[in-house]
Structure 1
């Protein structure tokens, strides 16, 4: 892989403009307040901080997504403009505790849980389909794994790129239950399935 950028200048400019528009547009009246209100500039600093934190989170999860798709630390480092070691030191440690598992129920009758490990972006849905047919549903996930919990009926699982509010509401109206807050660029959903339909 060469060291040339993967995005062209127009794509790069579009991303930068989109981030700036989100920072200026999300807080109510922020852009207009900058004409006459010194306090508006403090709100701009706070909005920019939130944007930077979110961009940092997306980068961490995008790196883990690239790793889950089979890319080496060397390749990821080249895209980031750093060494393999620097990329691994910056992102590998943060991924270790990244699972978003719901706390397990306790007691002798608590449902069993297990980890589906060794997963990639390309095989995770097949693993979840198989687990769902056997009555397991997703309760947590992170890089290279999903945590599933046993139940008495089959489940369906799906993922999609982070949906808009309208798309998310439509999924919920169709009975899909969001699992966690998403793992960029994916949002995961589950729903109970009629016998014989999970994974279809």
Structure 2
């Protein structure tokens, strides 16, 4: 199951990076990048990995995500740089959708590494304290804190000097409020995934013992 979780985590990261250029609005004042509706699911996945498999597996998954994002950026940059065929008239749109400024890319990678590792650290600390109890607490506490750090780091690095300080504060607040409530809403999914994976792993371990006895 860990391979499926790793694949889902990395896939969501890449997908979030692709759709990040699209902005959507909630009401008249809240404007968010489409990436947030995907990226919020990466934290529960990491929490599930820590809960079932432990801190080291989660840290490996975070590193794999970073490496994959870097490779994706390299290959996307190479694809943009390739000379367009005469029949391809959408080069400008292609660059707009898939290309990103160097500053935004750096902001994304730094915020990712800091926040995801923080999520692993906080979740693991709370698990060490509470054992199998209070999954809802460590899931929400670790995710909410790391999401705040992620949002703050990304917006400050990406937009400092471009957007006034008051504007940066509004951007951080609006994005974090969305992520805060999304974290609460996703909590039942974390319980379902943890229970399902533990049952599958238990069944797999029992099957392996049966084969070994035979």
TM-score range, shorter chain: under 0.3
Tell me the TM-score normalized by structure 1.
Answer: 0.25
Tell me the TM-score normalized by structure 2.
Answer: 0.24
Compare the two structures and name the one with the higher strand fraction: 1
